[in-house]
Amino acid sequence: MGKPIKKIIVILLVILFLPLAFFTFREVSSLDENEKMIGEIYKNQLESILFSVNQYSEDIVRSWITRLETIFENNPGERGLKTKLEQFFTETQSLREIFISDSTLTKKFYAEKSGTGLQLSGSNNFIEKISAANSSLLKKLYRYVKSGFVKIEPLKSSPDGLQFLMFVFDENKFCVLGIDAKIFVQKNLTSKIQSVARDQFSVAVYRSNSETKIYQTDEVDLKNIQQSKNLWLVPYYNLGILLKGKTIDQLVKERSLTNIVLLAAFTVLMVFTAMYAFGNIKKEVELAQIKNDFVSNVSHELRTPLALISMFAETLEMGRATSEEKKREYYGIINHEANRLSKIVNRILSFSQIEAGKKTYSFSKIDLNNVAAKIFETYNYHLTNKGCNFHFEPSKEAVNINGDGEAVSEAIINLIDNAVKYSGDKKFVSVKIKNENGFAVVEVEDNGIGIPPDEQRKIFDKFYRASKGLVHNTKGTGLGLALVKHIIDAHKGKIELTSEVGKGSKFRLLFPLIDS
Residues listed for the chain: 516
Whether the CA torsion 70, 74, 78, 81 is positive or negative: it is: negative
Instruction: Say yes or no: 203 and 83 in one domain.
Output: no
List, for residues 253-296, the tens digit of each pLDDT value. 676 677 777 777 777 777 777 777 777 777 777 677 666 666 65
User: Residue 110 and residue 130: Cα distance in Å, rounded?
Assistant: 13
So what's the pLDDT on residue 129? 87
- Please name the residues in contact with 38: beta carbons below 8 A apart, sequence gap of 6 or more: 248, 251, 252, 255
Q: Are 419 and 441 in contact (CB under 8 A)?
A: no
Phi, psi of 72 (to 5 degrees): -75, -30
313 located within any domain? no
Single out the residue in 182, 202, 230 at which a domain terminates: 182
Cα 429 to Cα 220, 221, 422, 482, 499: the distances in Å are 91, 90, 11, 21, 14
> Domain residues for 198?
184-244
More confident residue, 156 or 13: 156
Contact (CB, 8 A) for 153 and 208: no
Question: Of the candidates 300, 298, 337, which has an alpha carbon nearest to the alpha carbon of residue 462?
Answer: 298
Distances in Å between the alpha carbon of 440 and those of 16, 185, 368, 436, 511? 52, 97, 8, 6, 5
What integer pLDDT is reported at residue 477 of this predicted model? 58
pLDDT greater than 90 at residue 58: yes
Confidence category of residue 247, pLDDT binned at 50, 70, 90:
low
pLDDT score at 322? 76
Give the Cα separation of 98 and 179 in Å (integer). Answer: 9
Q: Starting from the edge strand earliest in sequence, which strands make up the sheet with 388-393, in order?
A: 388-393, 427-436, 439-446, 504-512, 494-500
Which residues, in sequence order, are bridge partners of residue 440?
435, 511
Whether 400 and 467 map to the same domain: the answer is yes
CATH assignment at residue 406 = 3.30.565.10
Q: Are 488 and 409 in the same domain?
A: yes
Residue 194 to residue 201: CA distance in whole angstroms: 9
Give pLDDT tens digits for 142-180: 999 998 889 999 997 766 678 999 999 888 899 999 999
Q: Is the pTM of this model over 0.85?
A: no
Average pLDDT over residues 489-515: 89
The dihedral built from the CA positions of residue 440, 445, 451 and 453, taken in this order, carries a sign that is positive
Say what the pLDDT of residue 356 is. 66
Q: Is the pLDDT of residue 471 over 50?
A: no
Total number of domains constituting the chain? 3
Decide if 208 contacts 237 (C-beta within 8 A).
yes
Q: Does residue 369 form part of some domain?
A: yes
pLDDT digits (tens, 9 = 90+) for 75-128: 778 888 889 999 999 999 999 999 999 988 888 899 998 878 888 887 778 888
Is the pLDDT reported for residue 2 higher than 60?
no
More confident position, 463 or 207: 207
Look at residue 297 and tell me if it is in a domain. Answer: no
Is pLDDT of 473 > 60?
no
CB 504 within 8 Å of CB 445: yes
- Give the Cβ contact number of residue 475 at 10 Å: 15
pLDDT value of position 470: 46
| Residues 468 and 496 grouped into a single domain | yes
Whether 127 is in a domain gets the answer yes
Question: Both 212 and 173 in a single domain?
Answer: no
The b/e string for 73-109 (b: 16+ C-beta within 10 A; e otherwise) is eeeeeeeebbebbeebbeebebbbbbbbbebeeeebb
Q: Do 96 and 217 sit in the same domain of this protein?
A: no
Q: Considering only the C-alpha atoms of the chain, give the largest distance between any 2 of them, rounded to a whole number of Å.
A: 162
**pLDDT tens-digit map of 408-458:** 988 898 898 888 888 877 889 999 999 888 899 999 999 888 888 888 777
Same domain? 200 vs 232 = yes
Identify the weakest region by mean pLDDT among 57-71, 207-221, 255-269: 255-269
- Gap between the terminal Cα atoms of the chain: 52
DSSP state of 189: I
Classify residue 473 by burial, with Cβ atoms within 10 Å: 0-12, 13-18, 19+: exposed
Q: 490: exposed, middle or buried (C-beta count within 10 Å: 0-12, 13-18, 19+)?
A: middle
The answer on 373 and 431 residing in a single domain is yes
- 202 exposed, middle or buried (CB, 10 Å; 0-12, 13-18, 19+)? buried
* pLDDT the model gives residue 472: 46
Q: Same structural domain for residues 479 and 374?
A: yes
Is a pLDDT exceeding 50 seen at residue 135?
yes
Same structural domain, 178 and 46: yes
Angle of CA points 327, 332, 334, to nearest 5°: 95
